[in-house]
Amino acid sequence: MSELTCLELSVAWWAVHVLCQATVAQPALSLPYLFSSRDKPPIPRGVLYGRATRALANYVENFTAFVALDLAFIVLHLSAGVWPTVWIIARIVYLPLYLFDVIYVRSLVWGVSFFAILAMLVRLVWA
């Protein structure tokens, strides 16, 4: 996949994360709370909402570095190799692993995505 395609997919995957969290929020939190200004967060029912929230936060943390690097490759007309594709595939695999509490494999997949970001950085610095 091209760097631009991976960037587009990464934004679409961010939207999936947001919609996932919003979908599991409704049964986990009361409807009046969801329409409020959310000054005092209640304790959500079930674990899925917490997992979706943490998965979204983790994605945003990694998304920032990925976008910065990917845009640098696009603007400089350089190839990032396979690493943007590796990153997006790992992040797509990561979400269901996090939601369904698949331990060890989830951490391994996160490590692959982190390595892809580091590989992009090294490739950019040495370009």
Chain segment 23-53, per-residue pLDDT in tens: 888 777 777 777 778 788 777 788 998 999 9
Looking at domain 3-125, which of 1.20.120.550, 1.10.10.1100, 1.10.287.70, 2.160.10.10 is its CATH number?
1.20.120.550
Provide the whole-model pTM.
0.90
Q: What is the pLDDT of residue 26?
A: 79
Q: Would you list the domain boundaries of the chain?
A: 3-125
Q: What is the pLDDT of residue 36?
A: 78
What whole-number distance in Å separates Cα of residue 97 and Cα of residue 32? 30
| Helix, strand, coil content of the chain in percent (nearest 5) | 75, 0, 25
Contact yes or no for 59/9 (Cβ under 8 A): no
Contact yes or no for 55/106 (Cβ under 8 A): no
Which residues in the chain land under pLDDT 70? none
Contact yes or no for 69/3 (Cβ under 8 A): no
What whole-number distance in Å separates Cα of residue 77 and Cα of residue 124? 11
